[in-house]
Amino acid sequence: MNTTQSQETSDSTISLYRVGDVNFLLTSGPDMINSQLRKGEVWEPATLQISQVLIEGIEEPVIVDIGANIGAYAVPMGKKILPQNGKLYAFEPQRQVFYQLCASLLSNNLSNCYAYHMAIGDVDGEIDVPVLDILTEQNLGALSLDPDIRAQQNLLSSTIKEIERVKISTLDTLSLPKAHLVKIDVEGLELEVLKGGRRWLEHSGHPAILFEVWGDYMKGMIGKRNRLMNLVKKALGYEVVLFGELCIAQHPSNKRLEISHTKEGLQLRRL
C-alpha cells in the first residue's frame, strides 16, 4: 500500500498519513505501530480480515475495541461498518495515546465511533497508568496496567517517571449497547476484562471475541493464561481457534464462521 504525508514539513514530530483508504495521525518516534503505519503497512491485517468477515452482512453492527491504542484497528473497522450504520466503541487508558486515537477518528470523519479515556477490567474505580513518552517509547502497545506483568515483560524502553490515575470500569456496569464483535488487547488483563463482562456478553447474545494470549515464553503468565482459557471455554461456553497468539472465540449459539488452518494460513467460511 502507498502512504502519503500531508504535512509540508518532513521533520514534524506528528503528521497525517494515508494508509490504504484511511488517515492516521502518527508520530515520528520509534513506536512499533506508528512506524509500521508510516510505511503504509496495515497493522495486524489478519485480525482486520477476520473481523470484517465476522460482521459481514450484519445490519447496524456494534464493535467494542478494548485497548484501542492509536486506532490501528478502530479506524479501519469504524470506516468499514460506516455504510452498515454500524458503531464502534473504543477504550484506551494512556492519555496521549488516546488523544492520537481521537485525532485519527476525527481525521476520517468517523462520527459513528466513540472513544473513551479509561480502562476496562473487573472493578469499578481508578487504576494507575504509567505515562510514556509517545515520541521516544519503542512499544507503546506493550504497556500493561499490571506492575507484576510489566516486570515480567521487560519490553518498555522508557523509564517510568510519572503515573496518572485513570477511570476503570467493568463491561457489566457500562451502558453499552449489545455488541456483535469484541476485540481485546490489554497486555495480560484479558481475564479481568472478561470476568467483568460476563453479564453483558450474555445480554449481547455471546458476540465473537478476538483476544491475544502469550506463549510459553512468558512463564509467569502460563497459569493466568490457563485460567483465561478456562473462563472462555468452560464458564462462558465459547469455542476457540488459535492463530499464533490470536484467539478467535465464537459461541455455538452465535457462530458465524467455520475456521480451519491451511498451509496458506486460516481458511474462513461463512456459515
Q: Tell me the per-residue pLDDT of 107-129, one tens digit each, with 9 for 90 and over.
A: 999 999 999 999 999 999 999 99
How many Cα atoms within 13 Å fall on the side-chain side of residue 14?
Answer: 12
* Mean pLDDT score, 2-24: 72
In which band, very low, low, confident or very high, does the pLDDT at 6 lie, cut at 50, 70 and 90? Answer: very low
Q: What is the pLDDT of residues 257-268, one digit of tens each?
A: 998 877 777 888
Q: Whats the size of the chain, residue-wise?
A: 271
pLDDT at 148: 87
Query: Which of these, 252, 223, 221, 225, lies nearest to 236 by C-alpha position?
Result: 252
Nearest to 165 by CA among 133, 99, 117, 214: 117
Per-residue pLDDT of 183-207, as tens digits, reads 999 999 999 999 999 999 999 999 9
Q: Check whether 34 has a pLDDT greater than 90.
A: yes
C-beta separation of 213 from 223 below 8 A: no
- Residue 83 backbone dihedrals phi, psi, to 5 degrees: -65, -20
Residues paired with 219 in a beta bridge: none
What is the distance of C-alpha 203 from the center of its chain? 21
| Complete DSSP assignment for 112-131 | TEEEESSEESSSSEEEEEE-
Domains of the chain: 14-270 (3.40.50.150)
pLDDT value at 175 more than 50: yes
Q: Which pLDDT belongs to residue 201? A: 98
Cα→Cα distances 78→75, 136, 179, 195, Å: 5, 28, 14, 26
State the pLDDT at residue 24.
Answer: 98
Q: Round the average pLDDT of the chain to a whole number and report it.
A: 92
Residue 75 has pLDDT above 90, yes or no: yes
Cα(234)–Cα(238) distance, integer angstroms: 7
Q: What is the mean pLDDT of residues 241-267?
A: 90
What's the pLDDT at 1?
A: 40
Average pLDDT for residues 142-148, to the nearest whole number? 92
- Given a cut of 50, is residue 66 above it in pLDDT? yes
Query: Where residue 215 falls among pLDDT bands split at 50, 70, 90?
Result: confident
Say if CB 97 and CB 12 are below 8 A apart.
no
Q: CB neighbours of 104 closer than 8 A, spacing ≥ 6?
A: 22, 23, 24, 25, 70, 71, 75
Please name the amino acid found at residue 164. Answer: E
Confidence check: pLDDT of 216 > 90? no
By DSSP bridging, strand 239-243 and strand 208-212 are unpaired
pLDDT band at 7 (very low <50, low <70, confident <90, very high): very low
Report how far residue 220's alpha carbon sits from residue 143's, in angstroms, rounded to the nearest whole number: 17
Question: For residue 163, what pLDDT band results from cuts at 50, 70 and 90?
Answer: very high
Q: Does residue 3 have a pLDDT over 90? A: no
Residue 173 vs residues 169, 182, 198: alpha-carbon distances, Å: 7, 16, 11
Secondary structure element (H or E) that encloses residue 98, with its range: helix 95-107
Contact (Cβ atoms closer than 8 angstroms) between residue 98 and residue 92 = yes
Residue 231 has pLDDT above 60, yes or no: yes
Q: Is residue 187 a contact partner of residue 156, using CB atoms and an 8 Å limit? A: no
Burial status of residue 231 (CB atoms within 10 A of its CB: 0-12, 13-18, 19 or more):
middle
Q: Please tell me the distance from the alpha carbon of residue 238 to that of residue 175, in angstroms, as a whole number.
A: 24
- 11 pLDDT exceeds 70? no
pLDDT of residue 64: 98
